[in-house]
Amino acid sequence: MRILAVINGEYGRRNVANIRAGAPADWQVETWQAPAVLPPVIDYPEDYLPASLPTADLILSFAENRGVAELLPDIATRSCAQALVAAVDNDAWLPAGLMRQLREWLARINVMCATPKPLCSLTETDFEIGRGKRLAHFSPLIAEFARRFGQPDLRLELDSASGLVTAVTVQRDAVCGCARQVAERLVGLPAGEVIEKAGLLHHHYPCLASMVKLPDYNKDTLMHESGHLLQDNLLPQVKPYLKDQYITPEGKAE
């Protein structure tokens, strides 16, 4: 698969570095550095694009400037891409209205589009656009990418007698590499400590998602949502090893 990553800052560079480190040998990952500053309205996208771009099957947009979204349909056309993933790890970079417009623009030119919010909500079939709200995508290319990078999928092995984590397999890493870093530090923990420890490790990585409180996440942040997605993956696996705790009110007699 040929991938073109659109970047214009450290956020994108870190994502690309992790993709290259974990990608299959037959993936080709190229980058294009988008302008750091763009006008509020772009009338002529060609003025901000190079004469040619690498041919790509899939475009990954890690832009840190909302104006880049207006360039993406032209980038897709020039690179002959069939699918595009535009990360939404910060509302300021791709607000909800522009996110919807982007999907519509790309649909008109027959380019499949996913706008995962946060980026680590992407799976082989769908992605999140708000808490409790997911959209399906029907792109084999996005699915191929999401088999390796997207919503974290860690598989725990636990000792049946002690309840300790003996091994963790990373079925799907987050694009930023956070899930793999968390996985490496869960081995040896008792089941009862896994969820809390995973949340702390996620925040210490650090996660690249925004800490701005959003109304479509019940005034929570995308960083916290990212952590919840990771913990939700782990909870069913440790739950059989957790002992129910009962609290007896003070003064209560049997």
pLDDT tens per residue, range 120-146: 999 999 999 999 999 999 999 999 999
Check whether the bond before 118 is cis (ω within 30° of 0): yes
Q: Where in the chain is the domain with CATH 3.40.50?
A: 2-146
Supply the Cα-derived Rg of the chain in whole angstroms: 20
DSSP 244: P
What share of the chain in percent tops pLDDT 70? Answer: 96
* Least confident span in 30-39, 85-94, 146-155: 30-39
Q: Is the pLDDT of residue 34 over 90?
A: yes
Structure confidence at residue 244 as a pLDDT band (50, 70, 90): low
Count the Cβ atoms, other than its own, within 10 Å of residue 70: 20
DSSP 162-182: T-BEEEEEEEEB-TTSHHHHH
Summarize pLDDT for 180-211 with one digit per residue, the tens. Answer: 999 999 999 999 999 999 999 999 987 889 99
The CA-based diameter of the chain, rounded to the nearest angstrom, is 82
Angle at alpha carbon of residue 106, lines to 224 and 72, rounded to 5°: 70
Beta bridge mates, 69: none
- Token pair, residue 72, equals 């993406």
Q: What per-residue confidence (pLDDT) applies to 247? A: 45
Q: Is the pLDDT of residue 84 over 60?
A: yes
Q: What per-residue confidence (pLDDT) applies to 95? A: 94
Q: Is the pLDDT of residue 76 over 80?
A: yes
Beta bridge mates, 168: 156
- How far is it, in rounded angstroms, from Cα 120 to Cα 230? 9
Q: Please report where in the chains the tokens 């705790």 appear, as a residue.
A: 245
Structure confidence at residue 246 as a pLDDT band (50, 70, 90): very low
225-254 exposure pattern, b = at least 16 Cβ within 10 A, e = fewer: bbbebbbebbeebbeebeeeeeeeeeeeee
Inter-residue contact 221 to 210 (CB < 8 Å) = yes
Q: What per-residue confidence (pLDDT) applies to 243? A: 77
> Which numeric CATH code is attached to 2-146?
3.40.50
What share of the chain in percent tops pLDDT 90? Answer: 87
Q: What per-residue confidence (pLDDT) applies to 251? A: 54
* Least confident span in 51-55, 94-98, 205-209: 205-209
Q: Please report where in the chains the tokens 């029907």 appear, as a residue.
A: 138
